[in-house]
């Protein structure tokens, strides 16, 4: 193992022990009127010695060293507390990693944190990557069923990258598909990109699923997504993920619906 990696790993262990890795929040925007309807929690780690390290690096590392369940519990606890201060109709979207999905107790753990914090499962959305789902079909289904029975919605993250077959997709009881950023970024470049996104939107609509486009960065992409019936969007065009303390300011400059749905 390289010494850089060993150093990151050592710092990661102490960051988790000190509970200093925290969620930031990126708005989820309903495309009928560009209103904020909730936030996705994205883990952020600012190491005092190494600087900012991205979740693409430390989440897989935490999985490898067996600390992801602990880190995920810390993040979910904090996210629930933060989300309790938002307008009462807002959803909280939370990612669970492929390794976590192999743990048959993960559903129970999520539900007990919600119960402890008093955050309603009806406002919670759990994001599972398409590849994680396909890797662990039987266990994933049991966890999904358990969460959905409690009222939590399930979103299939990074859709289009995990090689699931239509049959596999249909056998899961899902609520939402998140179209991977790689497809959204191709909307401007090629007709192929547009054909793929339109096909995914049509498929999702046919199955009664909500759709979120990830990585919306410009007005052209947004217009295409709206014209083809995409329900929600997320991306730098609206906002990057912000610390909990900056959520009120963000809501001051972006429209949102606070009335009960
Ligand atoms: P993801 O769940 O697909 O999250 C979306 C990623 O795209 C985030 O990167 C977000 O900052 C980034 N993004 C959002 N809008 C745009 C845009 O318009 N353009 C571009 N170029 N990027 C955009 P981030 O925060 O670095 O997270 C990377 C991945 O790490 C996430 O991908 C997710 O798989 C994982 N992750 C983050 N937080 C958690 C967590 O708390 N638990 C677990 N299990 N995984 C997490
Ligand atoms: Ca996600
Ligand atoms: Ca994603």
pLDDT score at 190: 83
Read off the pTM. Answer: 0.96
Whole-number Å distance between alpha carbons of 144 and 189 = 36
Q: What is the mean pLDDT of the chain?
A: 93
- Which residues are found with C-beta within 5 Å of the ion, ligand 2? 95, 127, 157
* Protein residues whose CB sits closer than 6 Å to any atom of ligand 1: 26, 41-43, 54-56, 59, 72, 75, 95-97, 127, 157-158, 181, 214-217, 234-236, 241
CATH class of 3-250: alpha beta
User: Once rounded to an integer, what is the mean pLDDT over residues 195-202?
Assistant: 93
What is the residue-wise DSSP string for 54-65? Answer: -HHHHHHHHHHT
**Would strands 35-47 and 51-53 be described as parallel, antiparallel, or unpaired?**
antiparallel
Give the contacts of 251 (CB within 8 A, at least 6 positions apart).
36, 87
CA of 80 to the centre of ligand 1 (A): 18
Examine the pLDDT at 260 and tell me if it is beyond 60.
Answer: no
Q: Write the residue with the smallest CA distance to atom 3 of ligand 1.
A: 158
Which ligand 1 atom lies nearest to the CA of residue 236?
Answer: 18
Whole-number Å distance between alpha carbons of 68 and 182 = 26
Confidence of residue 138 (pLDDT cuts 50, 70, 90): confident
CA of 127 to the centre of ligand 2 (A): 6
Strand partners, 22: 44
Per-residue model confidence as pLDDT tens digits over 42-59 = 999 999 999 999 999 999
């Amino acid at each position: 193992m390289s010494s850089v990696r060993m150093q990151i790993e050592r710092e990661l262990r102490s960051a988790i022990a000190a509970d200093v890795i925290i969620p930031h929040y990126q708005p989820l925007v309903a495309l009928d009127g560009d209103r904020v309807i909730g936030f996705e929690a994205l883990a952020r780690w600012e190491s005092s010695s190494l600087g900012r390290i991205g979740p693409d690096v430390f989440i897989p590392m935490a999985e490898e060293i067996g600390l992801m369940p602990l880190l995920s519990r810390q993040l979910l606890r904090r996210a629930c507390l933060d989300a309790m201060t938002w307008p009462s109709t807002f959803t909280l979207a939370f990612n669970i990693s492929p390794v976590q999905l192999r743990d048959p107790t993960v559903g129970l753990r999520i539900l007990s944190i919600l119960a402890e914090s008093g955050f309603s499962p009806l406002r919670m959305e759990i994001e599972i990557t398409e590849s994680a789902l396909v890797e662990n079909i039987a266990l994933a289904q049991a966890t999904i069923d358990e969460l959905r029975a409690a009222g939590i919605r399930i979103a299939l993250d990074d859709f289009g990258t995990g090689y699931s077959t239509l049959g596999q997709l249909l056998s899961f009881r899902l609520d939402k598909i998140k179209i991977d950023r790689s497809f959204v970024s191709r909307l401007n470049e090629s007709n192929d990109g547009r054909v793929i996104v339109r096909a995914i939107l049509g498929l999702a609509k046919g199955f009664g699923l909500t759709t979120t486009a990830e990585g919306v960065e410009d007005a052209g992409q947004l217009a295409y997504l709206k014209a083809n019936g995409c329900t929600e969007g997320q991306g730098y065009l609206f906002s990057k993920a912000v610390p909990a303390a900056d959520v009120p300011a963000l809501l001051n400059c972006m429209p949102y619906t606070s009335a009960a749905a």
